[in-house]
Structure 1
Amino acid sequence: MPENAAKALVLLFYSELFRKLEAAVECIGSTYVDHNDEKAGRGQEVLRAHVAAMRQTFPDFRIKIEDMIAEGDRVVTRVVGNGTHTGVWMQIEPTGRIVHVKGINIDRIVDGRIIEHWGEADTIGMLMQMGVDPFAGRLNTSMRSP
């Protein structure tokens, strides 16, 4: 697939992901795997479950694409997501705060569909915006240098 077409596919995917889920689902292949949660299985239900969980926690979540680079069968996208924390997330009760989370995604495209996804998000920054100290009580002293 030409790199411009791959970029257009990924742009459509992220644009529709939290607005019109079925349009985003059409962008992925039947063997789709999210490498951030390989235990979730493969296919469109993996994406549907992820979006459902996000919508329960951040019902107004949206993604804005900041940068996009395509090479070969992969598209790298730098994104910023925004949403209001109104549901329980990682055992954190709703705060009502609007969070902004930065992330970088890599999507692999085969036959005009996204079939693999890797992503990294600033989860620590997100927790801090919710008023949570992600490091409280978690110092692992066994990892200290002698």
Structure 2
Amino acid sequence: MANPNPKEIVRRFNAEVIEAGSAQSFADLMAPDFVNHSAPPGSPNGPESMWNTFENLLRPAISELRVKIEDQIAEGDMVTTRKSVTGILTGRLLGAGPTNAPIAIDVIDIVRVRDGRYAEHWGMNNLAAVVAAIRGNNA
């Protein structure tokens, strides 16, 4: 059986895990030895670091959470995705909110896919700037 297309794996992760919150899809799509190179220093950097971001940070704060993939480039087992995470800020996000207003977080992820699963992740986002703007608007 051929390995699944790495871009499809990343699209599936974004739809099923980030948007829908599927624990089963998360388990299916994460390699047990996964490494999140973007985890904060001193924090766990295994699969739990990714699950924590979605289930304990974003999903409780943002209702109607959606991921829009703007661009996706793949070379071999590496997939780079530029996307936006949007929704309504109905909860607290890093101490900011709720505003009940739309929120958008811009993200660039690089994922190494191995055997149809996430093996490594690197990422950049503008979450800190978004939260600072919310705090500034509510001062």
Normalised by the size of structure 1, how large is the TM-score? 0.77
1:39-118 alignment, distance < 5 Å: 39-43=43-47, 45-52=48-55, 53-118=57-122
Structure 1: which 4+ aligned runs deviate by more than 4 Å? none
Structure 1 residue 4, shift from structure 2 partner? 7.2
Structure 1 residue 33, shift from structure 2 partner? 2.2
8 Å CA contact retained: 2:89, 2:103? yes
Aligned residues: 132
Normalised by the size of structure 2, how large is the TM-score? 0.80
Unaligned runs of 5+ in 1: 137-146
Indicate the structure (1 or 2) with the bigger Cα radius of gyration: 1
**Identical counterparts, % of pairs:** 28
Q: Which has the higher strand share?
A: 2
Unaligned runs of 5+ in 2: none
Counterpart amino acid of residue 106 in structure 2: K
Distance 1:48 1:128, change over 3 A: closer
Task: Return the alpha-carbon distance in structure 2 between the equivalents of residues 59 and 95 of structure 1.
Answer: 12
Q: Which residue of 1 aligns with 2:5?
A: 5
Task: Return the alpha-carbon distance in structure 2 between the equivalents of residues 114 and 87 of structure 1.
Answer: 29
Structure 1 residue 125, shift from structure 2 partner? 4.8
Give the alignment partner of residue 38 of structure 2, picking from 36, 39, 42: 36
